[in-house]
Structure 1
Amino acid sequence: MSASFALALQAARDAAAGQHYPQSTLYMVATPIGNLADITLRALHVLQLVDAVACEDTRHTQALLRAYGIDKPAASLMALHQHNESQAAQQVVQRLRQGQRVAYASDAGTPGVSDPGARLAAAVRAEGLRCVPLPGASSVTAALSVAGAVAPQAQESGFVFAGFLPARGAERVAALQKLALDGRCVLLLEAPHRIRELAQALGTLGTRPVTLARELTKQFEEISTHAAQDLLPWLDGAPQRARGEFIVLLHPAQPREDESAGQDVLRLLLQELPTKAAVRLAAQITGSSRNALYAAALQIKGDAGD
């Protein structure tokens, strides 16, 4: 532990120790997404106070706690991740019923936002027990705060958090195009080994602005906004641009008054599906006429064969 975090622990005690921390309570603790200094004073105090820490990866969380000078015995750390969340949640409930205070921390960021934690909170609340949020770092809100994604005047505001898209081709294209038709900001998560594939799919959105935010809060943080059609060339411009975890933010779309949206979706689906299936799915996604889409599909197929 560095001297700076020793001061932080003292500041946490001074600032937070006088508050009420009831027993038989689950504390959902947001942890840094890269920069250790992004921990809150209340989180530091609660992590010292609780009887047990449930966490996505016990080794990762133990290392995090030790970085702050918090020493917890190994027996007080409980593994709770996406593969065992329902079962492990019952162990947490049992501890809470014994009067213990339990914290939950995912590997990075706010629990329950793409990370485990939602099922745990649901199980605790279903038993009539208390669940207290300790807000803090989140890659979603970090990216939103700097993207400058402003909706056109008189258009619906807000944003949609979609997380990771389906991995399979046709399902991925359909999900992406359905989200692209939403007039609000759309936030996606993507891993480095699939970012080029996503950028290629987004290219069909033409000039719609897209912000890529990678390695947020870390030394090599990079935030860059481009027209959707320029994303793939930009990624290919330097090897490091495809490294790290990504937040991908589709800026609000300009209102469209023509029928081209349905044909844009259709054109993508035809790359993965037979004509009839592509037409049916494009009609479901966009609300466009199936007959019109079928005629457009024949035209697209005819143009491709020329």
Structure 2
Amino acid sequence: MKNVKCSLLAGLVSLAAVCVPHFAGAQEINAVDASVRWAFDKASENATTAEVSEPAAVSATSFDLGSNLYFNGTQGCSNETLGSATLSKLNPRVAIGRAEEKDAYVVFSVIPKKGIAFTPKKLKFNACKCGTSGGTLNIYAVTGDKRVEVAKAFDPVRNNDFSAAEYDLSALGATTERVEIYFYIYNLAANKQLAISAIEVIGDFVGTPENVPAYTISAQCGMEGAGSVSVNPSGSSFDEGTVLTVTATENFGYHFSAWVDDEGNTVSVENPYTFEIVANTSLTATYTRKNVYALNLDVVGGGPTITLWSSFPRAMSWKESIIMRKVQMCNFALSITVF
């Protein structure tokens, strides 16, 4: 996933795009046991694209985290048989109790070029638990409307050791569509981590790449400090017809409004927005500011002062002046001031 922080843009900024044609005379590909591998050993500095042994067969590769996961550094591990490894630690923002909660996953994607059929055969990866007995994985392979269970309740080892896993992907079969490998994490507290690395999909690429045009994509924020923008799969140039998803995040005090083009025309109000690229594309995420007020909580009769921030729309009956309320809690009162 390509993550672009908002730059100092007062208005709408776009990048010039140039069509990148493919060259004629593409060679037939018959790559057996080709490798698509994400090292995944640098946490937030991980490369979003994979190392591909047959790059002429692949249009794009990427990974993406569900919104309930974030990187929390790396874990160094060693194994008497396997040697040493560095894994990226995944931390839930909110504790994950049950399996396959929609936002508690990391997904790895491979898009073959047009004219190429990809037959995934094996999945390999390393995994470990970090300072906890919790942390379990369910893994699925997806292409088109087909979804195959790869692993159920995979339970990696703890701490300084790591598990090296290998699973069969042959049930997915040959496909010309995007292949996605979902790692769903569950049974993990918000202050604990599960770590993975060396995610590798092994399979066969067969066919002749079609001579199709490629187009560029750029995406950016339209307001300083409003949020960030990502493109999935990551990259700046894609084959015609590749399905892309752009996502805008909202910082506190801002609300996403729409995606607009270079001329300021609204392209979509959906977020995330998914589309097929058929031309050079530049999208800007526009935002509106929310009305933000401070909420100060002062302990009456001694003790610390607590300051919280919250947001209230003007439509509510909050006066834009001081409002005093007292709440009896245990043996002391709280004085709440809103302004």
Same fold flag (TM > 0.5): no
TM-score calculated relative to the size of structure 2:
0.26
Considering fraction of residues, name the structure with more strand. Answer: 2
TM-score calculated relative to the size of structure 1:
0.28
Which of 1 and 2 has higher RCO (CA within 8 Å, sep 6+)?
2
Considering fraction of residues, name the structure with more helix. Answer: 1
